[in-house]
Amino acid sequence: MKRILTVLALIISATIFGQTAKEYFDRGISKETKKDYKGAIKEFKKATTEDANYATAYFKKGICQMALRDYNSAVEDFDNAIRIDSKNAEAYEKRAVSLISLQKYGEALLDLDKVIEVAPTTPDIFIFRGLLREETGNKIGACEDFNKAKIDGDIQAYKCLQKYCGKSDDLEESIILNWTSQENWKIGSDQKHSIIRVIDFIHSNETLENWTELGHMTSVERKKDATVDKAINFAYQEIQQQAPKAKLTLIEKDENSEYPWIIFTIESPRFKNDRTPESQLWYIIIGKQRLYTNFRAIKMEEISMEQKENWIKFFKNIKLKNE
């Protein structure tokens, strides 16, 4: 009986105290989520004690050290993460941020070089290195980075080129489509935020609460991976949530022009909370800096062929300009 009790005690002890590195890591993640960074650091440290090659635990511990502004300790943790995985782009980038906080700019630049070497598609990396190069007096290198970011479609690149490199040819992009000069349109709503502008047009004798035909324009800072197919899918999925029986019809697109564009209709016989039908003809165009989504809508189940032809002609007058 004594031997049985001893074995049972060992089993219970192993169950209670013999936690794995992964279990400590998961507990650390839970505490980090709750912003208990000191508690998370203790759990990540236990994980690396159990497994000295647990790169992700070192990395997450470094992130928590940064949150507590203990940048020296953060650098040590990122050192360990990189020692285990020499291609860990995130660890190089976060170590660079920590080194900048310690005013070790030369070392930080070396880390950013490494990020670009192992993961050149890291978001905003050329902007990051360009700004640091500018700060350390390497204006030529900074402008090279901003131009690389521009080629990648990074919206910040244009502003950086204007501010630091004197690029007067890289001006603010905008769209030209003169609604108010024809068909008796007026602006019903014009809302502008930091990266997005939304304008609704109605006929002069109507209101946004009671309209027969609506015009709409949205411009938003373009993402690097923006495509016309992604744009059409997003628009359709958003409408389907409220109008499950909505019908999508592709009319025309050109993905290879300087500014890729697509024309399509979404015709909805009814909505979940409104039995009034609505049909829209969309024209989406991708600029160098922004994505422009435009549509005209009527409260009908379908758009007539004559309306489609007129609306397509209207939208094809769109022009992009810099000013």
Examine the pLDDT at 320 and tell me if it is beyond 90.
no
Q: Which domains are assigned to the chain?
A: 2-122 (1.25.40.10), 173-322 (3.40.1000)
**What confidence tier does 157 reach under pLDDT thresholds 50, 70, 90?**
confident
Distance CA 187, CA 230 (A): 28
Distance CA 126, CA 220 (A): 22
For residue 13, what pLDDT is reported? 40
Residue 144, burial from CB neighbour count under 10 angstroms (0-12, 13-18, 19+): middle
Q: How many CA atoms lie within 13 A of 77 on its CB side?
A: 26
Examine the pLDDT at 125 and tell me if it is beyond 70.
yes
Mean pLDDT, the chain, as a whole number?
A: 87
170-177 average pLDDT score: 67
> Is pTM, for the whole model, over 0.85?
no
For residue 323, what pLDDT is reported? 54
Tens-place pLDDT, residues 5-32: 444 444 444 343 457 889 999 999 999 9
